[in-house]
Each structure stands twice: as structure tokens, then as C-alpha cells.
Amino acid sequence: MAAAGICQRLYELTSKPLPVLEDRIVANLFYENSTRTRSSFELAARKLGASVLNLDIGTSSVGKGESITDTARTLVAMGVHAVVQRHASSGSAHQLAEALTDKVHVINAGDGWNAHPTQALLDLYSMLTVKPDFTGSKVAIVGDITHSRVARSNLWLLKLFGADIHLAGPPTLMPAELASLGVTVHNRLEPAIEGCDFVMALRLQLERQAQGLIPSLGEYRKLYRLDHHRIRLAKPSVKVLHPGPVNRDVEITGALADDPELSLINSQVSNGIAVRMAALYLLMSGRGTLR
């Protein structure tokens, strides 16, 4: 419910950009490279008038093994007001939040396989814009669920909003006891997307083949790639989402990803900036809390 309010407010915010965080500093702390997410946060912060400090730790001399706590202390000493962290380890945002004082806000920009909360918020927001009566919607998430923080964050958030969640992917890319999280698990694509309101394709990391988790991209395409033919199993009003960057013709055909009638992929990117503005505003202006 809180997130719905947020989405409502950010809608107003995007239309009238305010220098509301003029004296504030947002640090982008990216232990893992992600040009897209980092740029999105940077634009969001700048639109609110905040100063942005980019720390690309993944490429700097401070590498793996650097204590998250030490980095946190440095940021506090610099007078940073919010930290946006991307890290390869699940739980690292949680750890940073525990290490920082209450005065510094932590936004998780992706931690390992665990969570990518602003991605889920922007996905939900994108879905709400086309289907405001979201409760009861059937949503399918397709692909590598095991390694996906996007899938996990969406699962928690969309369940909160009453979605009927179906996950599909090869058994080798589905984590243990997945159904216990309150979702329906499929190994085949077709039953998952049948009658769906929304279908989200996940990016397939190409190294999964070398890890022995899938036999070939060809077989993956045959079984799980979304295309115009398969999407007919879903509702006529179905919309397709993807967290990006898209492996064209692996998890989704280029034609479907680019279809203005069916694809929300472009609006996901612009909505991402709005959602991140909302998150920064609510946290840093002291006018609300995001939890």
C-alpha cells in the first residue's frame, strides 16, 4: 500500500521537478558494474537537486575483501546523506544498513541473488499504469529464478499487491523449495503464461551454459523464449516486461521486446527514474518513510 502511495506521488514529482534535495549528497557505491542502474539513480538524484558522488569500487583499487563497514564509516565521515549500494553478495545492503548510523539512508541497488527493490517498484509501477486494478493479476516470471534478485524482489512486492505469481524455468535454474514462498512453479513456459496479465522475461546470463546449468542456448530458446506466437496463450491485454539489458532472441524475440502494443520495456526504463526519485525523496526529505 505504501508503495502505491509512492507511485502516486512520484507521478506528480516527475511533472514538476523540484530542487528539494539541494543540500543533500547521494553516494552511488557500486561494487559491481551496472551502468544502467547507476545512471538511473544518478539522474533521479540530480532531478531532485542532490549532489551525486559516484564510487565505482568494482573498478577502483578498493576491491573485493574491502570491509563494507569500513567503507560505510568513510561515507559517514564524508557527510553523505544516502548510499545507493550495488554488491555481488546477498545480504550486503542489509549489512551496510546495520553498519551505518540512522542518519544515513541505504538504498539497495541490487545485492547478489537476494534483492533489487527499486527494480521491483518500477516493475509494479509500470504494471499499475496500465492496469490500476492490479489485485488478482496473473504474473509470470520466466527464466533463471535461482540467480535472480529481480525475481525475488518482484515476488515479495507483487504478492503484497495481490498478484497470482507463476514462475517458470528449467529445473536447474529453480531454487530449492520455491513453492514454499507462495508461488506456483512450472518447468514449462506454456502453463505459466496461460491467461497471464503480465509476463516478465529474465535476462539469461550466458555463462550458465558453461556452468552446466543449461545444455545450450538453442534448447533454452526452444523452451523458454517469449515470442509473438507463445504470448497468444496469455490474455489479449497482456504486457511483457524485462529488467534489461535484453539478450535479444535468447529470452525474448527482438520483435516482441520492441512491440509498442505488448512491451513495457521502454517505459520500464523511464519509470525507473521516477521510482528512484520517489525513493530518494521519501527517504531524504524527511516527509515519509519507505519500508
Partner 1 sequence: MSASILIKGARLLDPANSIDQVLDVRIVDGDVTEIGSDLKLNGSGQLLDATDMWLSPAFIDLHTHLRDFAQSDRETLETGTLAAAAGGYATVLAMANTEPPIDNAAILSQLMSKIEEHALIEVLPVACVTKGMAGAELTSMVELSAIGAAAFSDDGMPISNMAVLRRALEYAKLADRLIISHPEDKDLSQGGCIHECHVSTRLGLPGIPAAAESAAIAREIEVVRQTGGRLHFAHVSCARSVDLIRRARADGLSITADATPHHLSLTVDQSRPYDASYKMNPPLRTEADRKALVAALKDGTLDAIATDHAPHTSLDKSRPFDEAPFGVTGLETAFSLALEHVAASGNLSPSDLIALFTSKPASVLALPQPGIRTGTQASLVVLDPKHVWSYDSEKGYSKSVNSPFHGRSLTGKAVLTVCRGEVVYKHGEVLSSRLSKAR
Residues forming contacts to partner 1 in the complex (CB under 8 A) are 64-65, 67-69, 87, 89-92, 94-95, 111-115, 149, 152, 175-178, 180-181
Residues paired with 84 in a beta bridge: 28, 107
Query: Nearer to partner 1 by C-beta: 177 or 261?
Result: 177
Q: Which is nearer to partner 1, 32 or 123 (CB)?
A: 32
The residue (of 167 and 231) whose beta carbon lies closer to partner 1 is 167
> Nearer Cβ to partner 1, position 152 or 239?
152
| Closest approach of partner 1 to the CB of residue 159, in Å | 13
Integer CA distances (angstroms), 206 to 144, 212, 291, in order: 11, 11, 34
Question: Least CB distance from residue 47 to partner 1, whole Å?
Answer: 31
3-state secondary structure the chain: CHHHHHHHHHHHHHHCCCCCCCCCEEEEEECCCCHHHHHHHHHHHHHCCCEEEEECCCCCCCCCCCCHHHHHHHHHHCCCCEEEEEECCCCHHHHHHHHCCCCCEEEEEEECCCECHHHHHHHHHHHHHHCCCCCCCEEEEECCCCCCHHHHHHHHHHHHCCCEEEEECCHHHCCCCHHHHCCEEECCHHHHHCCCCEEEECCCCCHHHHCCCCCCHHHHHHHHCECCCHHHHCCCCCEEECCCCCCECCCECHHHHCCCCCECHHHHHHHHHHHHHHHHHHHHCCCCCCC
The least CB distance from residue 128 to partner 1, in Å, is 25
Of the two residues 90 and 184, which places its CB atom closer to partner 1 in the complex?
90
Cβ closest to partner 1, residue 92 vs residue 263? 92
Alpha carbon of 177 to those of 146, 156, 162, 201, 290: distances in Å?
Answer: 11, 16, 21, 21, 30
| For partner 1, the closer CB: 113 or 198 | 113
We find the least distance from the C-beta atom of residue 280 to partner 1, in angstroms, to be 24
Nearer to partner 1 among residue 110 and residue 280 (C-beta)? 110
Question: Cα(165)–Cα(288) distance, rounded to whole angstroms?
Answer: 29
Least separation in angstroms between CB 153 and partner 1: 10
